[in-house]
Amino acid sequence: MNFTNKVVLLTGAASGIGAATAVRFSELGAKLAIVDLSAEGLKKTAENCIKCAKSKDQGEPFQIVGDVSKSEDLECIAKSTIKKYKKLDVLANNAGIMEDGTIETTCLEQFDRMIHTNLRSQFYLSLLLVPELLKTKGNIVNTSSICGMRSFPNTLAYNISKAGVDQFTRCVALELGERGVRCNCVNPGVIYTNLQKRYLDENGYKEFLKKAKYTHALARYGQPIEVANVICFLASDLASFITGHNIPVDGGRHAMTPR
Ligand SMILES: NC(=O)c1ccc[n+]([C@@H]2O[C@H](COP(=O)([O-])OP(=O)(O)OC[C@H]3O[C@@H](n4cnc5c(N)ncnc54)[C@H](O)[C@@H]3O)[C@@H](O)[C@H]2O)c1
C-alpha cells in the first residue's frame, strides 16, 4: 500500500480506531487532515503520525477541531482541508458515538444525537467533498459496525445509525462507480477503544470485554490497528475492484451464534 502524494481526510482521529488509522496512513506516506472534538487528542495523534511518517514531505497532519454532528463544522472541515491541500484522495468518515437504550428507554434527543453524529455527518461531509473525489478518482471509507448488520440488544439508535451507514455506502458506490469513485465501509466487532468505556462503568466494561470470548469466533476482542489496516487497504489501489462492500472486521462475530 502506498499513499505517497495522496491526501486523506479522517474524522474521529483523536482516539481508538481513528488514531490508529491516522498513524497507519502516515506510515504509508499520506498527507493527513485529521478531525475530532478533542484538540488535545488530535495533537497526540499528530505527534505519533510525525514519528511514523514515511517521508518528511508529508508535513505535520492538519488538525481540525470540530463537531461532525454540526453542519457548519462539516462545511468548515471540507473547506479548510481543500484550502490547505488543494485536493482530496480519500475521505474516511470514522467519528462515532455509542449510547445504550431500547425502544422504551431511548429519548428523542438521544436518537437524534446518534443519527446526527454517526450517519448524517457521513452523508453531509461526503456530499460536500464528492466534487473533489470525482476530480482525483478518489474513494470513501466509512466506519460502520457489526451492529449495522445485526440487531444487538439495548443499543437501538446506534444499530439504526450503523445500518444507515451500510446502506449509504452501497448507494454512494452505485451512484459514483461509473465515474471512478469507490465507497466501502468496515463493520468492526468489539474493539478495545474508549467507545464503550464512555457509557459503561469500569466493572461493566470489564464484563463486556470478557464476553468477547464467547461472541467472537476468534474468542477475543480486536485492537484498533486491526481495523486501521482494513480501512487503509480499502482506501488503497490494492482494493481497486472493491466498491459498495460492508466488510466485517469482527473476529468472525457476524458468522456465529454466541456460544
Ligand atoms: N470500539 C468498538 O468496539 C467499535 C465497534 C464497531 C464500530 N466502532 C466504530 O468505530 C468508530 C470509532 O470509534 P472508536 O471505537 O475508535 O471509539 P473512540 O471513542 O475511541 O473514538 C471515537 C472518536 O470520535 C470522536 N468523536 C465523537 N463524536 C464526535 C463528533 N461529534 N465530532 C467529532 N469527533 C467526534 C471522539 O472524540 C473520539 O476521538 C465509531 O464510528 C464507532 O461507532 C467501534
Q: What is the pLDDT of residues 137-194, one digit of tens each?
A: 999 999 999 999 999 999 999 999 999 999 999 999 999 999 999 999 999 999 999 9
Locus of grid cell 514515511: 54
Residues labelled catalytic: 158
Residue nearest to atom 19 of ligand 1 (CA): 195
For the full predicted model, state whether its pTM sits above 0.85.
Answer: yes
**How far are the Cα atoms of 123, 165, 186 from residue 169, in angstroms, in the given order?**
9, 6, 10
Reduced to 3 states (helix: H, G, I; strand: E, B; else coil), residue 92 is: strand
Mutate to test the pocket of ligand 1, among 9, 11, 17 (most ligand atoms within 8 A of CB): 17
pLDDT tens digits, one per residue of 207-254: 989 999 999 999 999 999 999 999 999 999 999 999 999 999 999 999
Q: Cα 36 from chain centroid? A: 12
Which secondary structure element, helix H or strand E, spans residue 36, and what is its range?
A: strand 31-36
Burial class (CB in 10 A: 0-12, 13-18, 19+), 146: buried
Inform me whether the pLDDT recorded for 200 exceeds 90: no
Ligand 1 centroid, distance to 219 Cα (angstroms): 23
- The 10s digit of each residue's pLDDT in 176-186 is 999 999 999 99
Q: How is the beta sheet containing 31-36 ordered, strand by strand?
A: 62-65, 31-36, 7-11, 90-93, 139-143, 182-188, 246-249
Q: Which atom of ligand 1 is nearest to the CA of 38?
A: 37
For residues 117 and 115, give the distance between their C-alpha atoms in angstroms, rounded to a whole number: 6
> Would the CA dihedral through 218, 152, 162, 16 be positive or negative?
negative
- Contact, 92 vs 8, CB < 8 A? yes
Q: Which residues pair with 93 in a beta bridge?
A: 142
CA distances from 158 to 75, 100, 127, 137, 154 (A): 24, 8, 22, 31, 9
Ligand 1 neighbour 17 (Cβ under 6 A):
yes
Which CATH code fits 7-255? Answer: 3.40.50.720
- CA of 33 from ligand 1 middle (Å) equals 17
DSSP, res 250: S
Confidence of residue 197 (pLDDT cuts 50, 70, 90): confident
Quote the ligand 1 centre to 179 CA distance (angstroms). Answer: 30
Break the chain into its structural domains and give their ranges.
Answer: 7-255
Q: Which residues contact 62 (CB under 8 A, 6 or more apart)?
A: 32, 33, 34, 80, 81, 84, 85
191 lines ligand 1 (CB under 6 A): yes
97 lines ligand 1 (CB under 6 A): yes
